[in-house]
């Protein structure tokens, strides 16, 4: 990671960095690339991919109706409704 790459990235992202911000961003990007390079050296042969880092099941709530529809209340403030539907003016010909 060098200044030329940072300049290209900031131009593509349409960012304007002050010199101090650019120096800090360059240092951060170098650290990120170094970490990625280190991670690439880890031997992962025989390691199965995980959906979650913890070996546990996600507790789920029961799929049960907890509220009753209140269409009339929801539509009370609407300018126009008919048969439970909102009526809106046509905006595209």
Tell me the average pLDDT across 72-83. Answer: 93
φ, ψ of residue 82 in degrees (nearest 5): -155, 130
DSSP conformation letters of 6-29: HHHHHHHTT----HHHHHHHHHHH
Task: Give residue-wise pLDDT tens across range 6-35.
Answer: 999 999 999 999 999 999 999 999 999 999
- CATH entry 2.30.38 includes domain 3-40: no
Specify the pLDDT at position 69. Answer: 87
Task: Give residue-wise pLDDT tens across range 29-75.
Answer: 999 999 999 999 999 999 888 877 887 777 888 999 988 889 999 99
CA 74 to chain centroid, in Å, comes to 31
Specify the pLDDT at position 27. Answer: 95
């Amino acid at each position: 990671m060098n200044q030329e790459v940072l300049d290209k990235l900031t131009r593509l992202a349409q960012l304007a960095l002050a010199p101090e911000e650019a120096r800090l961003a360059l240092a951060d990007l170098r650290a990120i690339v170094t970490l990625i390079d280190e991670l690439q050296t880890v031997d992962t042969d025989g390691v199965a991919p995980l959906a979650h880092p913890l070996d546990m099941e996600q507790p789920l709530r029961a799929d049960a109706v907890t509220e009753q529809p209140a269409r009339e209340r929801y539509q009370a403030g609407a300018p126009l409704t008919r048969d439970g539907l909102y009526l809106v003016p046509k905006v595209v010909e």
